[in-house]
Amino acid sequence: MTPLLADVNYVEGTLVMIAKSLIIFLFVLQVVPLILLLERKLLGRFQSRIGPNRVGPYGLMQPLADVLKLLSKENSVPNTAVPWMMALAPVISIFCAVVTLAIIPFGDNGAWGGNFGLYGIDVPIGILFYFAFGALAFYALMLGGWASGSKYSFLGAMRSAAQLISYEIALGLSLLGVVIQAQSMSLTEIIHAQHNLWYIVPQFIGFCIFLVAGFAETNRPPFDLAEGDSEIVGGFNTEFGGMRFGSFFMAEYINMIVIAGIATAMFLGGWHGPGPAALGPLWTILKMLLFIVLFIWVRATLPRLRYDQLMSFGWKVLLPLATLNVLVTAILVAT
Amino acid sequence: MTPYDPTADVIEVRRGPNPGGPASIYRVFGETLRGLKTTLGRVVEGPVTMEYPEQKTPVYPRFRGRHKLHRFEDSGLEKCVGCSLCAAACPAECIRVVAAENTPEHQVSAGERYAAVYEINMTRCIFCGYCEVACPFDAITMGNDYELADYTRSDLVFTKEMLLADPIEKTPLRREGE
Per-residue pLDDT of chain B (178 residues; tens, 9 = 90+): 678 887 777 888 888 777 666 777 788 788 888 888 988 888 888 888 888 888 888 888 888 888 888 888 888 888 888 888 999 999 999 999 998 888 888 888 888 888 889 999 989 999 998 999 999 988 898 888 888 888 988 888 888 888 888 777 777 777 766 5
How many A-B residue pairs are in contact by the CB < 8 A criterion?
Answer: 36
pLDDT digits (tens, 9 = 90+) for A38-57: 888 888 888 888 888 888 78
pLDDT at B130: 92
Beta carbons of A162 and A311 less than 8 angstroms apart: yes
Strands B113-121 and B95-101 turn out to be antiparallel
Taking CB atoms and an 8 Å cutoff, what residues of chain A touch B47?
A: 44-45, 48-50
Residue contact A48–B32, C-beta within 8 A: no
The closest CB to that of A50, out of B35, B42, B49, belongs to B49
Beta carbons of B78 and B123 less than 8 angstroms apart: no
| Spatial distance between the Cα atoms of A306 and A100, rounded to a whole number of angstroms | 29
Amino acid at A135: A
**Whether the predicted pLDDT of A3 surpasses 60:** no
| Spatial distance between the Cα atoms of A94 and A243, rounded to a whole number of angstroms | 12
pLDDT at A1: 44
Kindly report the number of other CB atoms within 10 A of residue A76's CB atom.
12
Taking CB atoms and an 8 Å cutoff, what residues of chain A touch B45?
A: 48
Residue contact B47–A300, C-beta within 8 A: no
pLDDT at A171: 87
Residues of B with a Cβ under 8 Å from any A Cβ are: 25, 32, 35-36, 38-40, 42-43, 45-49, 51
Kindly report the number of other CB atoms within 10 A of residue B20's CB atom.
10
pLDDT digits (tens, 9 = 90+) for A275-320: 777 777 888 888 889 999 999 998 888 888 888 888 888 888 888 8
Q: Any long-range contacts for B31-40 (C-beta under 8 Å, 24+ apart)?
A: B32/A301, B32/A302, B35/A301, B35/A302, B36/A297, B36/A298, B36/A301, B38/A301, B39/A46, B39/A47, B39/A297, B39/A300, B39/A301, B40/A46, B40/A297
Partner B, chain A 297-326, Cβ-Cβ below 8 Å: 297-298, 300-302, 317
pLDDT digits (tens, 9 = 90+) for B47-84: 888 888 888 888 888 888 888 888 888 888 888 888 88
Residue contact A47–B35, C-beta within 8 A: no
The closest CB to that of B35, out of A45, A47, A302, belongs to A302
| Spatial distance between the Cα atoms of A218 and A155, rounded to a whole number of angstroms | 18
**B43 vs chain A: nearest CA distance in angstroms?**
5
Residue contact B43–A46, C-beta within 8 A: yes
How far are the Cα atoms of A47, A296, A301, B38, B96 from residue B48, in angstroms, in the given order? 9, 20, 18, 16, 42
Residue contact A301–B36, C-beta within 8 A: yes
pLDDT at B88: 92
What is the value of pTM for the model shown? 0.77
A257 three-class SS: helix
| Spatial distance between the Cα atoms of A251 and A245, rounded to a whole number of angstroms | 10
